[in-house]
Amino acid sequence: MVAHTLLGVVRCDPSYEIKYIVENLKDKYGYQISYMNAWQSLKRSMEIDYGTWESSVQLIQKYMCALSKYNPGAVVEWKHLRANTEMSKTLNYVFWAFRPCIDGFQHCRKIISIDGTHLSTKYKHKMLIAVTLDANNQVLPLAFAFVDEETSDSWKCFFENLGRHVVHGENGVFLISDRHKGTSS
């Protein structure tokens, strides 16, 4: 019941704080719920509105197909872990880059900044990103990837795809990174 009460709030402000849920329910209904119940209700209302992490991961393939279809020249590369059965695969890695960004790199500085960021989920997936600066000092995103972990192998796959699809064998390209243990080897 509380989760359905929160649906409008979540649609307007997905970062709504739990302490306000407790306060608002107390003011509106005169009922005090625990912090844990408020947190679970907020989580459930977000799942009702936006789906679960598992359902979102299942939609990545459809999203990437749509991305390729409606962005001519976009590059999408997949890597899956070995599956126990033919019907199930575990996503290990997906790389993508948009054609205008790939083409735009030819007119940018040959310095690429790379970094990885944690996705805010119960799983440990990361997003890897490569960007550069154009002549107006504006950031141009070059490539993206979802990886299961930020490791030497995932960075290697990212660099291989970046080199194959974006850099195209250009000489004198420099990389800048925070030297995360996955990028330093």
Q: Residues 3-29: what's their mean pLDDT? A: 83
* The pTM of the whole model exceeds 0.95: no
Is the CA virtual torsion 31, 34, 40, 46 positive or negative? positive
Is 151 buried (19+), middle (13-18) or exposed (0-12) by CB count in 10 A?
A: middle
Chain center to CA of 21 = 28
Mean pLDDT of 5-13: 81
- Looking at residue 123, its pLDDT comes to 67
Domains of the chain, by residue range, sit at 2-50, 53-176
Whole-angstrom Cα distance, residue 117 to residue 129? 8
* One-letter-per-residue 3-state SS of 18-87: HHHHHHHHHHHHCCCCCHHHHHHHHHHHHHHHHCCHHHHHHHHHHHHHHHHHHCCCCEEEEEEECCCCCC
DSSP 96: E
Provide the 8-state DSSP code for 130. E
Per-residue pLDDT, averaged over 49-58, amounts to 74
Q: What is the mean pLDDT of the chain?
A: 83
User: Which of 8, 9, 5, 13 is CA-nearest to residue 37?
Assistant: 5
Q: Name the percent of the chain lying above pLDDT 90.
A: 29
pLDDT digits (tens, 9 = 90+) for 86-109: 555 566 789 999 999 999 998 898
pLDDT at 182 over 70: no
- What pLDDT is recorded for position 158? 92
- The pLDDT of residue 148 is 82
Q: Residues 113-171: pLDDT tens digits? A: 999 888 766 667 889 999 999 889 999 999 999 888 888 888 899 999 999 999 987 88
CB-CB contact of 103 with 135 (8 Å): no
Structure tokens given for 18: 């739990």
The pLDDT of residue 185: 43
Spatial CA neighbour of 183 closest among 162, 163, 160, 153: 153
